[in-house]
Amino acid sequence: MVDTQTQNKAPWWKRKDVKETATLWVILSVLIGGVAGEVISRSLGAPASETMANTIRMMKIFTWVAAPVAGLVGAIGLKSLMQKRHTGDTPPAESDHQIANSPKAAAVWIVISGLLCLFALVFGMIVMQEDAKSLQAANAIHINVTGQQWLWNFDYPDNAGVRSHDLYLPVDRPVIFDVSAKDVKHSFWIVQMGVKVDANPGYITQTAVTPNKIGVFDVRCAELCGLLHAYMQSQVHVVSQADYDAWIKSQGGRA
């Protein structure tokens, strides 16, 4: 990254402008990581499942890992801007040096970006595996989700005949959603639980989650599905197992 100049006796890392850039780099990295991480976790809101908590944690870590890269580009850019500026209709004098490349710097840059890439990939894979646990759980309840223009139908196959437009789930129990659609593509999304899968006419797709918080959360359609797409919303009521059984019974199912 940093060019050595033949007339400079001192090694490059002792040069004044390099030191100042390094200081700027540290400051910018901390600033970017801190601000962006905070904005992201605040905007995403409180998680209602382990899946969503994982996502928030991962996005914060990615932010902190990316911050030094952004900080370095920012530091070099700012330092260059502070050093030698020129305005006017004619160009400034030619720059002091004409170093046109630095294979060493390029190699370091490429190796480091490769490592960062590998980190993002491995980390993502591990979290993917963790999120998939709900899909393999033996005690999971199944729910059939059917999207149609412009509402959601939830069927509870363990209790044939029970159908609702608001979703009811017991807390702390894995749920597997078998998702399909009647007419066009929709996308089934539980906002605070961080799960999403498209609802395709003629096919069944799956996603799974374990809600870990009692409360009311949002289901929104995340795929443009025509005229009233914006209004295709409903709610998830996550309740205790006892309340869930009572609700199923009130709908005519067996508890």
Residue list 15-34, contact with another protein (CB under 8 A): 17
Which conformational region is residue 203 in: left (phi greater than 0), alpha (psi within -120 to 50 degrees), or beta? Answer: beta
Q: Which is nearer to another protein, 112 or 160 (CB)?
A: 112
Which listed residue (158, 203, 241, 252) binds another protein by CB under 8 A?
203
Region from 23-31, 69-77, 165-173, 237-245 binding another protein, contact rule CB under 8 A: 69-77
Extract the tokens encoding 217.
Answer: 């959360």
- What whole-number distance in Å separates Cα of residue 175 and Cα of residue 6? 67
Q: Which is nearer to another protein, 123 or 214 (CB)?
A: 123
Q: What are residue 160's phi and psi, to 5 degrees? A: -55, 135
Shortest Cβ 228–another protein spacing (Å): 6
Extract the tokens encoding 184.
Answer: 């066009």
| C-alpha torsion 68→73→75→77, nearest 10 | -170
Q: Which is nearer to another protein, 32 or 162 (CB)?
A: 32
Buried b / exposed e over 225-252, threshold 16 CB at 10 Å, is beeebeebebebbbbeeeebeebbeeee
Which listed residue (176, 191, 208, 238) binds another protein by CB under 8 A?
191
* Four-residue CA torsion sign, 151, 155, 156, 161: positive
Helical (H) or strand (E) element with 104: helix 103-131
CA 41 to chain centre: 10
Which listed residue (148, 197, 245, 251) binds another protein by CB under 8 A?
197
Q: What are the CA-CA distances from residue 251 to residues 134, 155, 246 (Å)?
A: 26, 11, 9
Q: Which is nearer to another protein, 114 or 161 (CB)?
A: 114
| Span 107-166, contacts to another protein by CB under 8 A | 109-110, 113-114, 116-117, 120-121, 124-125, 127-128, 131
| Span 79-98, contacts to another protein by CB under 8 A | 79-81, 83-87, 89-98
Region from 22-30, 156-164, 187-195, 241-249 binding another protein, contact rule CB under 8 A: 187-195
| Span 204-233, contacts to another protein by CB under 8 A | 205-206, 218, 220-231
Which listed residue (158, 166, 172, 183) binds another protein by CB under 8 A?
183
171 part of the interface to another protein, by CB under 8 A: no
- The residue among 241, 245, 242 whose CA lies nearest residue 171 is 241
Shortest Cβ 19–another protein spacing (Å): 14
Shortest Cβ 36–another protein spacing (Å): 8
Q: Which is nearer to another protein, 204 or 243 (CB)?
A: 204
Q: Which is nearer to another protein, 114 or 252 (CB)?
A: 114
106 part of the interface to another protein, by CB under 8 A: yes
How are strands ordered across the β-sheet holding 205-209?
163-164, 151-155, 141-148, 175-181, 205-209
- What whole-number distance in Å separates Cα of residue 189 and Cα of residue 194? 8
